[in-house]
Amino acid sequence: MKDTPLSNCERDFLLKAIEEKKRLDGRQTYDYRKMKITFGTDYGCCFVDLGKTRVMAQVSGELVAPKENRPNEGIMFFNIELSPMASPAFEQGRQSELSVKLNRQLERCLRNSKCIDTESLCVVSGEKVWQIRVDVHMLNHDGNLMDAASIAAITALCHFKRPDVGIQGDEVTVYSPEERDPIPLSIYHMPISVSFSFFQQGTYLLVDPCEREERVMDGLLMIAMNKHREICSIQSSGGIMLLKEQVMRCSKIASVKVSEITELISKALENDKRARKAGGRCGFAESMPQERITALKTDETSVEMTDASERANDIVENAEVPPQTVPSPVVPAPGVGQVGQGLQNTWGLEEEEEDGDEEEEEQKMEEEQDEKEDSREGDVVEISDSEEEEVVILHPETQDKSSKNAASSSNQKGGKTSKQREKK
C-alpha cells in the first residue's frame, strides 16, 4: 500500500511555516521532540518514544561458530522490521528501500564504529563465539526513524547481559542467571544518530523532522556521533548539494544533542538498575497501574463507650414531648395543597373559592339571559290567542318603532277580531 500523498495546499502551508521559522508542533528549529526511554522485563529490551514515533529494540545472544577471517571476534547482527502496524505505507514480508537504508545506516553507526568490544565475545577461538542480534521493531511511524532506532539499539545493548560461560576441557557450559550473574557487554562509547532536514535547496534547516516535514524536504543529512565529538558515520540523501559551512554547522548542533541524549540514557539505565536491585516494579509491570481490591477490608475505629447508657437516658428525659396532633401544613403558594394521613385537606379552600367564582358566573349568566329575554319580549309580539289564525311575529328595526308598530297592530287586530265575532 502506498502512502497518501500530500495536497498542494498542505505542502505550501508547511513550506510557508518553515520560512517563518514555525513548526506544526510548536517547536523551534533546533528542538527535539519529547523523548522517553523505558525497559522491558528481560535484559536487553528497550522502548523509545520520540514524540509519536515509537520503537522497540530487543537484544539476544547465542553461541555460534565464528567467521573464518576473524576467528577471535564475536558477531554483531542488526535487523530492522517496518511493520504495517507502524504505518499503512509499510508492507509485511517485503523489504523496502527504506528498511534497507535504515539497516545499513544502523550497521555503520554501531558495528563499523567499533563501539562494542567484539573480542570479548569469543568463548573458544575458532569454535565458539557469541552472536549478538539486535532486532528493531517500528511500532509507530511519525518521522525520524533513524534517530529513534539508533537510540533504542544502543540503549538495549547497554542494558543487555549475556549468560556466563564456563570451559572445562572441550566442554562449554552456559550458566543460567540463577547459577551465576549474567555479564554485561563491554561498550566503549555510545554513537547516536542525529538527523537534519533541508528545505528549498539548503536555505532552511530543521532538526528531528516529523513525518509531514519529511515529505516536503529536499534533502536529509544523518550524522552519528558520540559524546566525545567523534563522528562515527555521516550520510546525505536526497540529491542536495551542501556546503562545507552547512556540514560544520550541523556537526556542532549534533554534538550538543548527542551529549544531552547520552545523559538521558545514562539516567534511565541507573534508574532501572536501582529499581531492579531494590526489588521494585520494573519493565512491563512498571507501566501497569497498581490497583488493589479493598472492598472486604475494613479499618477499625475506636469509639468511646463510657457512660453511654447514662447519656442516652439524659437525652431522652430532657427531650421535648412530641405533639400528639400534627399541625396543619402551610400552603406555600396558591394552588398548592397537601393531602395525607392526619392532615387537613387544604384543597377545600381552593374549592370554596372556585364555588364562589362559579356562583358569580352563574348569576352573571342568569342576568344576561334575563336581559336577552326582555329584549326578545320587546321585539316579539303575539297577534292573536285563537287557534284558527296564525301567529305573526314582527321584527322592527329599532325598539321605539317596534313598540309603536306593536301597539298599532294590536289595536287593528283587536278591531278586526271584534268585528268578526259580531258577524258570527
Asked if the structure places residue 274 within a domain, the reply is yes
Asked if the structure places residue 19 within a domain, the reply is no
Task: Indicate whether this model's pTM tops 0.75.
Answer: no
For the chain, what is the mean pLDDT? 79
The mean pLDDT of 402-414, rounded to a whole number, is 51
**pLDDT tens figures, 331-348:** 556 666 555 544 555 555
Residues 6+ apart with CB under 8 A from 27: 33, 208
Contact indicator for 227, 262 with CB cutoff of 8 Å: yes
Structural domain boundaries enclosing 143: 30-286
Asked if the structure places residue 398 within a domain, the reply is no
| Secondary element (H or E) of residue 357 | helix 347-379
DSSP code for 40: -
Asked if the structure places residue 344 within a domain, the reply is no
CA distance 353 to 242: 100
More confident residue, 280 or 154: 154
**pLDDT tens figures, 59-92:** 999 999 988 888 889 999 999 988 888 888 888 7
Of the listed ranges 138-147, 183-192, 275-284, 298-307, the least confidently predicted one is 298-307
With 60 as the cut, is the pLDDT of residue 350 above it? no
Contact indicator for 154, 188 with CB cutoff of 8 Å: no
Q: What is the tally of structural domains in the chain?
A: 1
Q: What pLDDT does residue 419 have?
A: 46
What percent of the chain is predicted at pLDDT more than 70? 72
Asked if the structure places residue 127 within a domain, the reply is yes
- List the Cα angle 364/367/370 in 5-degree steps: 150
Asked if the structure places residue 219 within a domain, the reply is yes
The mean pLDDT of 186-190, rounded to a whole number, is 91
The mean pLDDT of 181-198, rounded to a whole number, is 91
Contact indicator for 306, 298 with CB cutoff of 8 Å: no
The type of residue at 72 is N
**DSSP secondary structure of 45-56:** EEEEEETTEEEE
Q: What pLDDT does residue 284 have?
A: 58
Which of 96-118 are b and which e, b meaning 16 or more Cβ less than 10 Å from the residue's Cβ? eebbebbbebbbbbbbebebbeb
Asked if the structure places residue 233 within a domain, the reply is yes
What CATH number is attached to the domain comprising 182?
A: 3.30.230.70
